[in-house]
Amino acid sequence: GAVVSQHPSWVICKSGTSVKIECRSLDFQATTMFWYRQFPKQSLMLMATSNEGSKATYEQGVEKDKFLINHASLTLSTLTVTSAHPEDSSFYICSAREVDRLYGYTFGSGTRLTVV
Amino acid sequence: QKEVEQDPGPLSVPEGAIVSLNCTYSNSAFQYFMWYRQYSRKGPELLMYTYSSGNKEDGRFTAQVDKSSKYISLFIRDSQPSDSATYLCAMRGTGNQFYFGTGTSLTVIP
């Protein structure tokens, strides 16, 4: 089945630094990938939709200059949290959809970001 | 009003019990309904999916959709400790965007 690899699985960084999270579709091509954020005991909140070869579409309230998304190939999307602050600490999850797979948005394993 | 409402629990049941998880929604345009299971510190994995109204069974899991009531359910029979996880309902219309419930935390006690 479709596999989405997300790296790193956890990261600790200092305030003010930037962190890059990678999301790869391993055995299929994904023209569209999604980035979610999840706080403890809360649901997944869509941050942005990443389209291969074009600019990402951000949800209302998500700062595009802070959360930089690059989808340079059909198998890779990256999320860079710039100038991270403690309030950016969260669980970030990507997902990707295989073409013609109506239900199957495969999720990555998530990245636990802690900003100290 | 949220698009999708789900009781966060936590829900604790003895091993072997029947578990009922539910979500309600407000958007009548939703057509695709999914249940995801999420273990701690992991990404969600697709468990069941249904299209429009009806039932679907897969082993110990049964998904039900009642579009007239805007209500979906997931039943787990003969629950096992390995079923302990957070269960998220999700749904979408014809677009790409998923709408998730908050998730229900389930613990099955041996």
Q: What is the pLDDT of residue A53?
A: 82
Tell me what the pLDDT averaged over chain A comes to. Answer: 90
pLDDT at residue B97 in the model: 76
Give the model confidence (pLDDT) of B28-84 as tens digits: 999 999 999 999 888 899 899 888 888 999 999 999 999 999 999 999 999 999 999
Question: What is the per-residue pLDDT for A28?
Answer: 86
- Rounded Cα distance between B82 and B109, Å, is 10
Interface test with A, best of B5, B38, B105 (most A CBs within 10 A): B38
CA A52/CA A70 separation, integer angstroms: 8
Contact of B39 with chain A, judged by CB distance below 8 Å, is answered with no
- A106 contacts B46? CB cut-off 8 A: yes
Local confidence band at B1 (pLDDT 50, 70, 90 cut-offs):
low
Residues on chain A touching B6 (C-beta within 8 angstroms) = 43
Residue type, A102: L
In chain A, the residue whose alpha carbon lies closest to the alpha carbon of B9 is A41
Average of per-residue pLDDT across B95-105: 84
At residue B94, the pLDDT reads 78
pLDDT of residue A84: 96
The pLDDT tens digits for A32-88 are: 899 999 988 777 888 999 888 888 999 999 999 999 999 888 899 999 999 999 999
Could you give the CA distance from residue B47 to residue B62 in angstroms, rounded to a whole number? 10
> In this predicted structure, what is the pLDDT of residue A104?
65
| A-proximal residues of B, 44-103, CB under 8 Å | 44-46, 49, 51, 88, 96-98, 100-103
- CA A62, A47, A45, A115 dihedral sign is negative
What DSSP letter does each residue of B7-64 carry, written as one string? ----EEEETT--EEEEEEE--TT--EEEEEEE-TTS--EEEEEEESSEEEEETTEEEE
Q: Is the dihedral of CA A99, B31, B45, A113 positive or negative?
A: positive
Residues of A in contact with B8 (CB under 8 A): 41
User: Would the pLDDT of A115 be above 90?
Assistant: yes
Rounded CA-CA distance B17/B83 in Å is 11
